[in-house]
Structures are given as structure tokens and as C-alpha cells.
Structure 1
């Protein structure tokens, strides 16, 4: 998820997104019942063993509803200008014996904008309902209309066997919840259980690597490593942005949409006669990685290399992960006959260390 993947998890669900634009909330963070002061609001409940024993058809052991800014997405690689902030209602539940919560999100509006006493409906793509909401006179949130297949694809009841559907769907008693108001941090902590942050990863690459500053990452493999990896052709590798790449972005890039449009260069020296290949890629932020397609605009290549891709991810303790798990990182001229099909080597994933810019000089 994106780190931001919402409920639409298959092509069937994704087709609904185009039809949902008109239904999105126009009054985000303005529902006074949920948030009298306009701040993010949290409601939740954790059921004890006695309650669950008395309600054998209730699968939900923990439930939290958060009204406000996205508590799910981590600082990711997508440009801030492209991030979707339209969803303002977030639901997470943890089933009995489950290790992690599941979650869904939508946009919340009054059922009747002209009637202050009307309830609230939180909608989702494909004209589905996330939940109906009402706050009682004690400030507790009454959450109802929770569909058993809230976390499944819209066509799950038809595409799945009855047994599998019943296994993955919520229970017959998983509705009409009464949730207590809680501090916003309680909801944030609950949503953080979905995808725990690794503190060693630090800031995303788009924050660590500035659009107007060069960088250099690399690794040189010693004889012992190469001996233990006979299928690896790479002897040394450099991933960098230098004067050429910086000038290209300054001339045609948009810092607001960084890292979209960022050019990087990848140089690989093989242990076969020490041949060195340098290839330019054009990148864009996608969830937790930069997706970089081979570019011909600063190369002499004339073949179609747009489908040759690599991926950059932040690694622990300031490192960078570079990978192409499908075809391996290019260690040959991408327009040569040897580049057709898959690269038959173990040159697929690298963990690179930051290096001085001089280490990436041509």
C-alpha cells in the first residue's frame, strides 16, 4: 500500500475508482460530531476474553476508527503533490488470533447535509459503504453497516468459494460497534501495527537525496565474494547523479514533483575483461521505491529500451538497495543482442554504500 494501497486490490476493484470521483467528501475534517474542534479524532475498543466468549460469531477483537489525515501511509517515495488526501475515514480491525490488523478507508459525509441530526455515511469506491456513524450524547461512536466483505474485492461473494469467503469475511456479529473516544495517538499506534516502521531505514530517498544535489552510491566486490557467487558478473557498481543528470533536471524537471523525472546513471564493471557499461535511467516515485526506466536521451542507443527497469529503495543505515529481480541489472549494452531476454546472471539485488562523488566520476 502505498504503502498507500486502498481497498481496491484487483483490476475489478480498480475499475470502480474512475466512477467514484463525484462521491468524494467535500467537507473533509468538517464533521463537527466527530471532531468538534477540527482536529483528528480517534475512537476504539478492545474486547476482552469474556466478551468474545459470549459472542462466538464475532471475529473482531480490536476495532478503531480514525477521522482525519491518513494514518496508514508511511513517508514514501511518491511526490507530495501526487499523494491522495481525499480519504478521511479510516477503519482497522484485528480478528481473534490475527497477528496484524486489516484496514479500509473512505470519505465521510452527512446523509442529509440539510439535517443536522442526520447520520454520517462513509463511502468507498464501487459505491460501497465503509460504515455508518453516529455519535451518542456521551461522545461514543456508534458504528454500523459494516459489511462482512469490507476487506475483500467487490466481487468476492461470486469469485470465491463459500467456504473461503466465510473464512476471510467478518463474522455475523461483527457490526453495531460502540467505540470509546480516544487520543489520536491511540489510533496512530494501532494503524502502525499494520506495517511497522523500521527505524533503521530513516527518511525516504526523495527526502535524503535532493533534486539539486549530486549523490554517489556503490560497492566493490572482493575476490572472496565473487568466488562464493560464481554467477555474479558484477565486480563493481556505481549509482549516481552527476553534473549531466543535475543539468537535465534543472532544465526540464519540477522540484515539486521530485523524484519524478529524475535521471540517474548506473555504471557496472564486470569481471570479464573489466568491461564497463554505463546506462542512464529516468525515475519516478512509486510507493516505497523509485521505479527507473532505461533512457536513451543521454545515450547513443537506438533500440527500444523503455521496458528495461531497475528499482531503488532505501536500505538500512543510509544504504541504497538497487534491484531488478526479474531481468537482473544490465551488465551489457542494452541494445546488443546479448541484452535480449533475461540477463542470465545473479546480478539482481545490490546493497550500496554512500560514496564520495569522486568515486562515481567518469
Structure 2
């Protein structure tokens, strides 16, 4: 996999923007010519190659482009710049990388395209559980349990990735309501379940795809799974390599920014709640794998998506690495992960980060008022570096 790290700068496109601080008044000097696009043939079909730009972007969504279901005003203007409304007239590649999830990438991109007014493709979208596509081969034919989301939506996502035997906590309730006698399945919940005998179905792994809706039910069933070697209702056993149920969380965010005035608890809070209960029961914390920002594996996966997006736009792999700019609102996930990946990081004030509470826990390359200002600053920075 080609890595997008700090490296040689592109010098084939040199820009002079006298008014980048006023985004709609940037212009090219009269004596500047953008190099002629070269043609090439792929599968006997001639196509035009776009020069690779000197920078690419990765955007968080909640708190950067959206707040709840509302599009932030600066978001459409920022994306318009990257879609070609800039001095080169070229598209500047970008991807969206979020710790959200719960539905398929295709469904989410259709909704985002409608909200943002631009065509967002699944090839430029990474949500918290997209990285699980890379581990399907380990569990494809084994029974797994997925947590989070509404009804059986997460099951459908997992099956779309290639997992073949996928079960939910609602399936467990339908099998034996006494597992958690404080919740009665609604008609819609029951309709989403699959009949299965969990006393004869060893669960090999538990994947927390998305934020659970019923923490009490899910904590109980997760504790049952990991203490019994994957057989719900079986005697509890000391955890060993032979009977350990693999546990994967896809989103470490303790907080996230929605439509409410204050940040809301996220999947990271559910993880801590489970671990606190498990520790109270056993005196230990249960081993787990963490995906999502700021995990290294998620940023490496995003790097591959960015390289693929560059090739998709230009028709060829980049010979040298453009600068990657991560624009996010959460210092603990967006900025920490970008800094560790050696990307440039821009922290915006439209989400989780509250400057009134002091400096961010992880220092970004730059702090911007919103995503539009972040994009303008990054373009100006790269053009000044190019000469």
C-alpha cells in the first residue's frame, strides 16, 4: 500500500491567490499556464489525466460538515472549492472519515450526497466499521454477534461485508426473554430477529459496530458471551486463548457532537460501561481490539482509500505523496490520529472542541473557525510552499 506521508511537493501547478482570505476572489496571474493534461489509454479507452494536486483532504462529518441532520453553512462552500471551484479548475481529492456508522456505506453516501449537494461516492467514505472489511476472512463462516444500530440494520451491513452467520442481541431476546427480563420486544423488534438456539451456537467474536440503543441489555449479553466462551447460558469459565471470544469496538469516541447543545455520550462510553461491569464481576478488564479514529489501523486504511481516490480522479497512481490535511472537531480522535499518521491537522470550532475550556489535548497544525476557513488555509499554505 502506498503511504501518504510528508514527502516531495508537487511543483507542476503553481498558484498565486491574492485573496484566499476572500474565497470567491482567488485568481491566477496572466502569465501562468496550467500544464496540458496528458492522455493515456486504459483498457483500450482513451481518457484524460488530471495533474495530481499538492494536497488532499480527509474530513470528519459530525461537527465539521453537519451538526445532527443540519448541514453547517461553511460545508457546501468548502466542498465546492474542492470539487473544482478553485483557481486550477481541478478537483482536489477528499474523503470523509467518521466514527459514525450503523448503516451501509452506500446508504450513507446517498444521504450525504442529498444533504451536501455533491456526489459522495462509497469510494471516498470511511466510517467506523468500514475497516472490518479487512478482517472478514477470519470470521466469514463463524457465528458472530453484532451490537448497535436499530433493529437488524447492523446485521445487514455485516452480511454485506461478507460475514455469513451474524446475530444480534434482539435474536437472543427472541430465543429466551429471561436473558434480560426488563425489556419486552416490540413487534418491529421481533420481526427483525432470526430464530437460533444460542445454547448450541458458539459465538466466536463480538463486534460493536455502532452505538448500542439498549446499554443494559447489551452489557448483560456481552458479559454472558465473554464469560462463557461464547455459549450463552453455559457455565462461566476463566478466560483463556482457547475459549476467548474476540471483542472489537469500532468507535472509541467518549463524546460526539449532535444537535443538542452539549456533546452526547458515544460508543467509547458504552465500552467503559461494559468494562466497569466486567471488572466488578471479575476484577479484570476484558481484552479488546479498538478501531476507529484515532487508531493507527483506521488511518492506514484511510491512506489506502485516499490513494485509490487519487487514481480514480487522475487515472494513475501518484508518483509522490501529496500532503494530507485532516479537518476535524475532536482533538482526541481527529487530531490525535492525524498527528500520529504524520498528516497535517486542522481543528475547527464548530463541534466538540470548546476553546473556553482551555487548549486542545492534542495540538493541531492549525485551528480554524470552520471547515471553509480550514480548506482555504490549507490551499494557501501548499501554494506558498510550491513557490
Do they fold alike, i.e. is TM over 0.5?
A: no
User: What's the TM-score, normalizing by structure 1?
Assistant: 0.22
Name the structure, 1 or 2, with higher relative contact order (CA <8 Å, separation 6+). Answer: 2
Q: Which structure: greater strand fraction? A: 1
Q: Which structure: greater helix fraction? A: 2
Larger radius of gyration: 1
